[in-house]
Structure 1
Amino acid sequence: MTELFSSWTLIRTSGFLGYYLLTLSLSLGLVQSLSILKKKKAMLLSLHQKSSWYGLLTIIFHIILIWQDQFVPYSLDELFIPFFAENELLFSALGTLSFYLFFLVALSSDFFMKKLGFKKWKNIHFAVLPAWILMLIHGLAIGTDSSEPWALFIYSFSSFLIIVLLFIRITDNAAKHQSSSRKNLKC
């Protein structure tokens, strides 16, 4: 029973849970403005925002657990200053940078969107893609379970899902743009 709640198990679990929630948030963000889901947009937006903040809170818990871990100790500087960690310098930094990018996007979306204006906000919001990729690389490279078949399935499936949803989103946006261009030509 103590192994179930060991520091190592909680660090791994919180890392995967944070990855899941932020992948869910990104997925919901990609589909919320699709034409076929127009009637579900408000619900999808709410789930998108909630999964983002829950994911960030889970990652904060993950960071606190790493800070308190005795087996591979990290100082606060190593956790919050990219490229400062002695253990896995590059991959630890990618996790830190990913967290900062996700946090910036969530903060700007929920608290500064009106002040920034739509165009600046949208440009900042695009940082979720590099943030997600950095998080994926961090998890694959530094995660102790990353070579396990179930972990590889999670990473592979989520990567495939994000790529497919990006393609669908781009295709849907292109179709909307083409449709509005045709309407403008008729006027």
Structure 2
Amino acid sequence: MIQFLIELPTWMLIRTFGILSYLTLFVGMAIGIIYSYPQIKGHKKGQLLRWHTYANLTGTCFALLHTAFLIIDTFMPFDWAELLIPFSAKNNPVLNGLGTIAMYGLLLVLFTTDIRNKLKRKVWLALHLLSYPIFVLSLLHGFFLGTESKQGWAAMMYIATAIILVSLTLVRFQLSSRKRQVKVGQSKQV
């Protein structure tokens, strides 16, 4: 069994799971933002919630695999302390630390979502909004530390996903501000 693990193309798997994690978490976050659009209702809202949950759970699994393979990699192995304690890695401690913090943040957001019925809505929402800085940490970790980031396609992927999430968020704020203006206008007429 040990020989099988050592012979795996771990460096390729680490990179692949990292990129898959980033992309599926991006998809989950994009769907989550769209889910919050006021005009999304009924059956579509339920479908979006399922896809949001599925993408985020899948992305978390990929992130955990990305982390686990760092332990058995023979090219640049990490020990448990380097993975669990932010900024303690021998190589690129800051960028690896950002990845560790992003992982902890991701697990916190998922856990608090699972227990959201036991939390006050404002507390849950504040914790859920940590998804934005977690995404930024993941983006920085992947963009500056990822082996593929030197290639044009990977750099474009990181830039495009960031632009898409910023755009979706701006649309969300615009839609919610219009909704508030309509409510204020209706209350003045009464």
TM tier relative to shorter chain: over 0.9
- The residue that corresponds to 1:144 in the other structure is 147
Tell me the TM-score normalised to structure 2 length.
Answer: 0.92
C-alpha distance in structure 2 between counterparts of 1:38 and 1:171, whole Å: 18
Cα offset, 1:139, TM superposition: 0.2
Pick from 131, 134, 138 the counterpart of residue 134 of structure 2.
131
Paired residue for 2:90?
86
Deviations 1:12-56 (A, max 9, x none): 110000000110111011111213332411111111111111111
Aligned partner of 1:70 in structure 2 is 74
- Distance in 2 (CA, whole Å) between partners of 1:31 and 1:9 is 33
| Structure 2 counterpart of 1:19, from 19, 22, 31 | 22
Query: Matched residues in 1 for 2:32 and 2:72: separation?
Result: 33
Looking at structure 1, the residues matched to 75 and 129 of structure 2 have their Cα atoms a distance apart, in angstroms, of: 36
Report the 3-state secondary structure (helix = DSSP H, G, I; strand = E; otherwise coil) of the residue aligned with 2:41: helix
Gaps of 5+ in 2: 1-7
Say how many residue pairs are matched.
182
Q: After alignment, is 85-94 or 37-46 more displaced?
A: 37-46
Q: Confirm or deny that 1:180 pairs with 2:178.
A: no
Q: TM-score, normalised by structure 1?
A: 0.93
Q: Residue 86 of structure 1 aligns to a residue in which SS?
A: coil
Question: Aligned to 1:48, what secondary structure does the other structure show?
Answer: helix
1:44-63 superposed matches below 5 A: 44-63=48-67
Aligned equivalents of 2:108, 2:41: Cα separation in 1: 27
Work out the CA distance in 2 between the residues paired with 1:70 and 1:180.
Answer: 61
Does 2:121 match 1:118? yes
Look up the match of 2:165: 162
State the distance in 2 between where 1:26 and 1:32 align. Answer: 10
Amino acid corresponding to residue 99 of structure 2 in structure 1:
G
What amino acid is the match of 2:125? K
Root-mean-square deviation (Å): 1.1
